[in-house]
Structure 1
Amino acid sequence: MNERTARKVVLMRAIETADTKHEVLSEDDRLYASRSARELANWQAAEGKSEPSLHHFLQQRADLILKRLAERTPAFSSFLHRRPLMPMVAVLLPLLGFIAGAVLDRIGDPHRVDLLSVPLLLIIGWNLLVYLALIVWALIPSKRTGWASPQLLRRLAVGKNALPRKLPAPLAAGLAQYLTDWSMLSAKLAQLRFGRAVHMAAAAFALGAIASLYARGIVNQYAAGWESTFLDAEQVHTMLSVLFAPALAVFPLQGFSLADIQALRFVQEPSPAGGARWVHLYAATLLLLVVLPRIVLAVVSGVRAGRLARNFPLDLGQPYFRLLADRVGASGPAVLRVVPYSVTVDEARHRGLASVAAMVLGEQAQLMLRPSSPYGEDPKDSLRDARLDDAGVAITAVLFNLAATPERENHGAFLDYLVRSTPRGIAVLLDESSLVERGAAQPGFDTRLEERIALWRQFCNYHKAPATVVNLLQPEKYPLDLGSGLALSTAP
């Protein structure tokens, strides 16, 4: 799935999941989009003599839904036609870099070439420091997307956060969720593209300085020389020999001796000849140490960004997509794996879990119920035989009894272990059936139930595992459909 299709699919998912009451997208709208998209996907599969593709189905369905919403809501149409900031940034940064490089080099005496030119030495030194930082960054693992801030990457990925006015509340909520989802999903792509723009800007900055050197040399005669309070001629010769060694090794340029450096000191009369030699040396050094490496880094970032844009990593194993895949027949039965913690699952509650699996993952969903983990036992021991990275499992859900009181050292430790060990993240099911059976007839029970639910939700959110309340004896009490599926934690 390419980036453009993934963006539409993520937007479709955000709108559908926010529109739980079907206010902006009726059930007929959704069924029509699914039916039409399925027919188109089957037609494409027949043309290619292959199985129906979930990618094609999602693309066609997103196009149909977004087109219908745009026809009904002009404000949403304007949102769809927003232009991203990245293309403009990719053009403006190098342009501004070239201008800044040309202007920076003009600071100082326009009639002389300073062998210890501070602007030119700063350009070279800064870029060498950047290369070192990039090497260190590549060697040190990090969860961050790079040196760019998440706020900057979000702005580049989704543009301004302001939503159009006069949007229905569910549509506005869906767009807000989309901005959050897409900024997270495309952070790596935005970082690569921004890095490419920055590298091109750095190369353009050095090219601007080179162009300025040669442009001034056409209309002015350079007087070459140097001056320093703390450095003598021998030290300057050593430093310049190291600095210009790459240029002298690659290009057939005239070198220099210690006597040349001594003769060019500004305490004597500045030499009106030989300025071109130093212009060529600085230009060649900037080309080798700044322009070419930065262009190579920009090309590498561009290639990686292109590969990522063509194969965007959208996880189609999530409940929303698995249910759609079940409808189009593009995948096998989805599996809901339930991991009870200090909970006894009898036959009635087992049937309730099967109903939850069908609601979330479709009628063909399968339930994988693990043995209950004993209270207080180390999760590594109780889950020793569990393949938590099993790609065939769509959702791994921890089952807690709402009647219990959450404890950080027991329930929390169990959640933390699963969140760390499950690549796709986990869901949490809070079963209220036992608590309701015991206290439904007691005065003030509804208030106590709400307080207990709030306590568990806060506890699970703290452990990065959002919770969903269910009643396994009455699964229909809390319907979990396509728009309100299980909330998954984010795997680290």
Structure 2
Amino acid sequence: MTESEARNALLLRAFELAPADVVRWTDDDRAWASRAAAEVEGASAAGERFVARRAQLALERLGTREAIVRRAQRGTDWRPWFGWALPAIALAAGLATDAIGPSRQVNVLAPPLLAVMAWNLVVYLSIAVHALLRRSGHPQRGAIARAIARVAQRAIVPGRDRTADDADDASGRRRARRAVIARFAADWTKASARLTAARVARVLHVSAIAFALGALAGLYVRGLVFEYRAGWESTFLDANAMHAVLGFVLKPASLLTGIPLPDVARLEAMRFPETGGERAAPWIHLYALMVALVVVVPRALLALYDRALEHRLARSFPLPAADRYFASLLREHSGEAALVLVLPCHFVPSPQATLTLRAVLGAVFGPTLKLVVAPATDYGDEESVDGALASTPATAVVVALFSASATPEAETHGVFLARVLACRPPGSELLALVDESAFASRFGGSDPVSLRRRDERRQAWKRLLAAHECRPVFVDLERDDATEAGRRVREALDRRIAQPVSA
């Protein structure tokens, strides 16, 4: 999947996971997109091709209804001009920099070019540390990459939509659409972080080369019309110490060029201000070669590496196949049935409740789902749920089913949920459903007392489940419309929890 295809897939994902009343995209549109993609790509096409084609076709239709789609697509495009503008600025800055100093005297101990080399060595050290952190599983983006990501997010997320009508403003649809695009911006920024970092790193490496070459070019051009003199001065170092320092710094260039480094006596004769030094041309050649060795060559290799990485990621962009949204699409394309394991806690669902539950979950995971309802867990036997989960695959969805007629208790329901969380397969999804059918039979009226009882019971369940970082979905499995209940379940599964769960 290419970068643009992955971007389209994530953008469509943000719209399809949005509440139904926020965007102009219906279940019929979703079904059409899947059918059209299957017809274009063929039933035997790879899953990624199906997802990419579906996103392309869907966004073409959605773009005619939501102008914000086009803006989001344009806002995530890489700006190629950045790749030449920054190096051009760096080259100009290097040309304008006096790499020797205004006095035309070259202090061989501390020319500005030495600072350029030292800075680049610090950069190489930071790159090595970053690579080690990435290998250890703690990747960190650079400050510049983070800044560019923030700018990109602001470019994607729209400001005030001046074309929005008053009805949209009154209903809050504009604000809701902003939230959809903000979600896409956050998802895309995270998914493309490595690609963005490679691009930024490549541009910075080329810019460092441009600055160094500009500084050297300016130095040699000035050397044609001005005479530079080389010498040294120091408060703490004598000629012997200087000889050792210069041997360490310039020895590689001396070996490559054949330009000999001065001995102690010659260094003593170059000391400022007692002497006027000597012609600086050999020293300029030595430092120019060292800049090439320390800056130009390593930066060029790093730029080539990042360019290759950028090319590979842009042509083969990794999408999280384990994500429920994409896993569902891939399952739909392959015809594979979703496995849903229902674990009733302390009650046995009625036959009608089981039929409704299948319809509700079928609206979310497809009508071909494989529904397995485990035997109900008895009071005091909460740990028996371990056996039901022992052979469950990681691709399954686990549903913890509670009855609202029971008063939620940490010692029973809480223990049951804790066991489910501890024993479910890694990577599997957990859905907490609270069936209100029995409770509604007793307190299902619309009078204030019944409504208060229902709200109090819901709050009690929310508090209990929040202690285990779960959000419940309340559904009446005897009376609710399966399609509407399925929508609530899907929204609960799709919801990103940005803050700790609280009651």
TM-score, with normalisation over the residues of structure 1? 0.79
1:261 aligned onto 2:267: yes
Instruction: Measure the CA separation in 2 of the matches of 1:372 and 1:200.
Output: 65
Which of 480, 484, 492 aligns to 2:491? It is: 484
Give per-residue Cα distances to partners, 1:402-426, cap 9 Å, x unaligned: 652569996896688589x8347x4
Instruction: Measure the CA separation in 1 of the matches of 2:439 and 2:373.
Output: 22
Give per-residue Cα distances to partners, 1:76-108, cap 9 Å, x unaligned: 444444463553433333233333333444472
Aligned length: 477
- Tell me if the contact between 2:231 and 2:272 (Cα under 8 Å) persists in the aligned partners: yes
Query: What is the Cα deviation at residue 173 of structure 1?
Result: 4.1
- Tell me if the contact between 1:36 and 1:61 (Cα under 8 Å) persists in the aligned partners: yes
1:137 aligned onto 2:144: no
- Tell me if the contact between 2:8 and 2:73 (Cα under 8 Å) persists in the aligned partners: no
Query: What is the Cα deviation at residue 362 of structure 1?
Result: 0.9
Instruction: Measure the CA separation in 1 of the matches of 2:66 and 2:237.
Output: 71
Instruction: Measure the CA separation in 1 of the matches of 2:465 and 2:309.
Output: 37
Instruction: Measure the CA separation in 2 of the matches of 1:182 and 1:345.
Output: 44
Pairs within 5 Å for 1:37-436: 37-42=37-42, 51-74=44-67, 76-82=69-75, 84=77, 86-106=79-99, 108-109=101-102, 111-140=104-133, 141-148=136-143, 150=146, 152-156=148-152, 159-163=155-159, 165=161, 166=163, 169=173, 171-273=177-279, 275-327=280-332, 329-337=333-341, 346=349, 348=351, 353-367=357-371, 382=386, 386=390, 390=393, 393=395, 395-396=397-398, 403-404=407-408, 422-423=426-427, 426-433=429-436, 436=440
What secondary structure is seen at the aligned counterpart in 2 of 1:431? strand
What secondary structure is seen at the aligned counterpart in 2 of 1:227? coil
What secondary structure is seen at the aligned counterpart in 2 of 1:279? helix
Query: What is the Cα deviation at residue 455 of structure 1?
Result: 7.0
Q: Which runs of 5+ in 1 are unaligned?
A: 46-50
Instruction: Measure the CA separation in 2 of the matches of 1:203 and 1:461.
Output: 55
Give per-residue Cα distances to partners, 1:212-255, cap 9 Å, x unaligned: 22222222221111111122222222122111233234444443
What secondary structure is seen at the aligned counterpart in 2 of 1:209? helix
Instruction: Measure the CA separation in 2 of the matches of 1:300 and 1:71.
Output: 41
The AA in structure 1 aligned to 2:294 is L
Instruction: Measure the CA separation in 2 of the matches of 1:323 and 1:112.
Output: 71
- Tell me if the contact between 1:8 and 1:63 (Cα under 8 Å) persists in the aligned partners: yes
- In the other structure, the counterpart of 2:500 is none
Structure of greater Rg: 2
Give per-residue Cα distances to partners, 1:238-278, cap 9 Å, x unaligned: 122111233234444443322332222112222342x1111
- Tell me if the contact between 1:16 and 1:483 (Cα under 8 Å) persists in the aligned partners: no
Query: What is the Cα deviation at residue 486 of structure 1?
Result: 1.4
Query: What is the Cα deviation at residue 461 of structure 1?
Result: 7.1
- In the other structure, the counterpart of 1:48 is none
What secondary structure is seen at the aligned counterpart in 2 of 1:484? helix
**In angstroms, what is the RMSD of aligned CA positions?**
4.1
Query: What is the Cα deviation at residue 285 of structure 1?
Result: 1.1
Q: Which runs of 5+ in 2 are unaligned?
A: 498-503
Instruction: Measure the CA separation in 1 of the matches of 2:204 and 2:409.
Output: 52
- Tell me if the contact between 1:10 and 1:182 (Cα under 8 Å) persists in the aligned partners: yes
- Tell me if the contact between 1:93 and 1:201 (Cα under 8 Å) persists in the aligned partners: yes
Query: What is the Cα deviation at residue 8 of structure 1?
Result: 0.7
1:6 aligned onto 2:6: yes
Query: What is the Cα deviation at residue 479 of structure 1?
Result: 2.6
Per the alignment, do residues 151 and 216 of structure 1 end up closer, same or farther by CA in structure 2, a change over 3 Å counting? closer
- Tell me if the contact between 1:111 and 1:223 (Cα under 8 Å) persists in the aligned partners: yes
Instruction: Measure the CA separation in 2 of the matches of 1:249 and 1:455.
Output: 80
- Tell me if the contact between 2:250 and 2:287 (Cα under 8 Å) persists in the aligned partners: yes
Per the alignment, do residues 334 and 304 of structure 1 end up closer, same or farther by CA in structure 2, a change over 3 Å counting? farther
Instruction: Measure the CA separation in 1 of the matches of 2:479 and 2:259.
Output: 85
The AA in structure 2 aligned to 1:132 is L
Instruction: Measure the CA separation in 2 of the matches of 1:15 and 1:125.
Output: 49
Give per-residue Cα distances to partners, 1:38-81, cap 9 Å, x unaligned: 21111xx6xxxxx1333333333322222233334555444444
Instruction: Measure the CA separation in 2 of the matches of 1:427 and 1:204.
Output: 54
* Comparing 408-417 and 474-483, the one that deviates more: 408-417
What secondary structure is seen at the aligned counterpart in 2 of 1:224? strand
Per the alignment, do residues 205 and 232 of structure 1 end up closer, same or farther by CA in structure 2, a change over 3 Å counting? same
Query: What is the Cα deviation at residue 115 of structure 1?
Result: 0.7
Per the alignment, do residues 337 and 483 of structure 1 end up closer, same or farther by CA in structure 2, a change over 3 Å counting? closer
Instruction: Measure the CA separation in 1 of the matches of 2:226 and 2:372.
Output: 82
Per the alignment, do residues 376 and 232 of structure 1 end up closer, same or farther by CA in structure 2, a change over 3 Å counting? farther
Instruction: Measure the CA separation in 2 of the matches of 1:219 and 1:377.
Output: 93
The AA in structure 1 aligned to 2:85 is L
Instruction: Measure the CA separation in 2 of the matches of 1:91 and 1:139.
Output: 30
- In the other structure, the counterpart of 2:501 is none
What secondary structure is seen at the aligned counterpart in 2 of 1:246? helix
Instruction: Measure the CA separation in 2 of the matches of 1:103 and 1:33.
Output: 57
Instruction: Measure the CA separation in 1 of the matches of 2:206 and 2:391.
Output: 46
The AA in structure 1 aligned to 2:231 is G
* Comparing 294-303 and 468-477, the one that deviates more: 468-477
Query: What is the Cα deviation at residue 142 of structure 1?
Result: 4.7
Instruction: Measure the CA separation in 2 of the matches of 1:283 and 1:376.
Output: 80
Instruction: Measure the CA separation in 1 of the matches of 2:140 and 2:480.
Output: 41
What secondary structure is seen at the aligned counterpart in 1 of 2:230? strand
Per the alignment, do residues 107 and 185 of structure 1 end up closer, same or farther by CA in structure 2, a change over 3 Å counting? same
- In the other structure, the counterpart of 1:16 is 16
Per the alignment, do residues 385 and 487 of structure 1 end up closer, same or farther by CA in structure 2, a change over 3 Å counting? same
What secondary structure is seen at the aligned counterpart in 1 of 2:195? helix
